[in-house]
Structure 1
Amino acid sequence: MSTTRWLREFRRPAVWLTGWGLLFALVATGSLLPPGDLPPMWPGLDKLQHFLGYALLSAYAVMLFARMRPQALAALGVIAFGIAIEFAQATWTAERIGDSADAMANAFGALAGLLIASTPMARWLQRLDARLWGRS
């Protein structure tokens, strides 16, 4: 199956796919850098930050992919990414620890991101694409 049948209709699909990749890079960077090298976000709300970050990754996938199956596969990929990040923190960093509670917050966030599929938010990227580059 071609990617265009999986993706929503965009004038510039590479821009939106690249944006999703950059979000993954941002989450990975923020998760693997020493905490002192990062600006403080919301002290004491670590699990909420995990939940929201992974909800954003998953919601962005809903905005990218037109069908339920690729949206669900993307959410599973986001969950796997969250688990991998926790393993990476435990094995590759000296100042971070892998935390199963963080992995759970990541997974619940990824699942929550799927909830926008049946809302008008699911088409936000398409609307932005049309506004920036005109309709197809």
Structure 2
Amino acid sequence: MGRSLKPFRRPWLWAGLWMLAIAVVVAGSLLPGKDLPALPVSDKFEHFAAYAVLAGGAVQLFARRLSWGFICVLLVLMGIGLEFLQAQMGLGRTLDRADALANGIGALIGLASAFTPLRDALLEFDHRF
């Protein structure tokens, strides 16, 4: 599976779930405004949490710091790009710089999980089961 992924017993499962999470974020970002459910939290928190989970997932999956940084940059660019797409698609959504900022901060917080004892939690879970 390459040098970048950690030595999982089921690398395709974990990488596939992470890619599915990315697809869910992209799809949710491009839904028409009227199709979005009303949640009891700020949409900024939703953006922050989604990108923190995606970046934290990258920390769980990949062994190399270079990979973490590269994916974090890609997530920030993805968040900015999705904001531009929302504005261009005419689906009742607008470009919101605060959303893009929340995405970026979330990605950085997820990346920061690399410096905690939880950095290898998924690897340990994978080896137990």
1:1-136 aligned within 5 A: 4-43=2-41, 45-132=42-129
Structure 2 unaligned spans of 5+: none
Which residue identity lines up with residue 4 of structure 1 in the other structure?
Answer: G
Runs of 4+ in 1 over 4 A off after TM superposition: none
- State the 1:79 CA deviation: 0.5
- State the 1:127 CA deviation: 1.9
Q: Is the 8 A contact 2:33 2:91 kept in 1?
A: no
Counterpart-to-counterpart distance in 2, 1:129 and 1:96: 39
Q: Is the 8 A contact 2:34 2:92 kept in 1?
A: no
- State the 1:84 CA deviation: 1.1
Which residue identity lines up with residue 77 of structure 1 in the other structure?
Answer: L
Counterpart-to-counterpart distance in 2, 1:25 and 1:42: 23
- State the 1:37 CA deviation: 2.1
State the TM-score, normalizing by the size of structure 1.
Answer: 0.87
Structure 1 unaligned spans of 5+: none
Which residue identity lines up with residue 109 of structure 2 in the other structure?
Answer: A
Q: CA RMSD in A?
A: 1.4
Deviation string 1:86-119 (CA, Å, 9 cap, x unpaired) is: 0110112421111111111101110111111021
Q: Is the 8 A contact 2:8 2:123 kept in 1?
A: yes
Counterpart-to-counterpart distance in 2, 1:16 and 1:73: 19
Counterpart-to-counterpart distance in 1, 2:90 and 2:121: 37
Counterpart-to-counterpart distance in 1, 2:34 and 2:121: 35
Helix, strand or coil: the match of 1:98? coil
State the TM-score, normalizing by the size of structure 2.
Answer: 0.92
